[in-house]
Homo-oligomer: A and B are copies of this chain.
Amino acid sequence: MSADQISVTFAALADPTRRAILERLAMGEAPVKELSVPFEMSQPAITKHLKVLEHAGLISRSREAQWRPCKLEAKPLQDASAWIEQYRQFWDESFDRLDDYLKELQSEEATSKEKKDGRSTRKRR
């Protein structure tokens, strides 16, 4: 564990079991036993995957009696997403327009004014 946070995040996402767990957790919290049901895999194996996810900050854990519910923590995904979005222009033809819209959205929220202008000056391809 000397890797940077985004490396840890991508490494955690590189396993299909772990991604499936995250997808399940998007529906709501769940204890280990329940998470393990869809997989032909021992419970210790699931515990290990959960440790990887927890270490990556992608889940958090609490206690309820003998259960340890897992909860999705999507924050690291935001950074991963931001990294990938750098490259959107290389695949997305409508990148310019989306990019402009996001900038506009941001300035809208930052300044809370200029609600109905700007758009007319946007670049178009």
A101 close to B (CB within 8 Å) = yes
The residue of chain B having its C-beta at the shortest distance from the C-beta of A76 within the complex is B91
Contacts of A88 in B (CB 8 A): 81
- B91, A74: Cβ atoms under 8 Å? yes
Contacts of A75 in B (CB 8 A): 91
Complex Cα–Cα for A109 and B26 (A)? 30
A: number of interface residues (CB 8 Å): 38
- Of the candidates B3, B13, B72, the one whose C-beta lies within 8 Å of that of A16 is B3
- A80, B74: Cβ atoms under 8 Å? no
Contacts of A3 in B (CB 8 A): 14, 16
CB distance from A17 to the nearest CB of B (A): 10
26 contacts between A and B (CB under 8 A): A4-B16, A6-B19, A7-B14, A7-B19, A10-B10, A10-B13, A11-B11, A11-B14, A13-B83, A14-B14, A19-B83, A26-B87, A72-B87, A72-B90, A74-B87, A74-B90, A74-B91, A75-B91, A77-B87, A78-B91, A78-B92, A80-B84, A81-B81, A81-B84, A81-B88, A94-B105
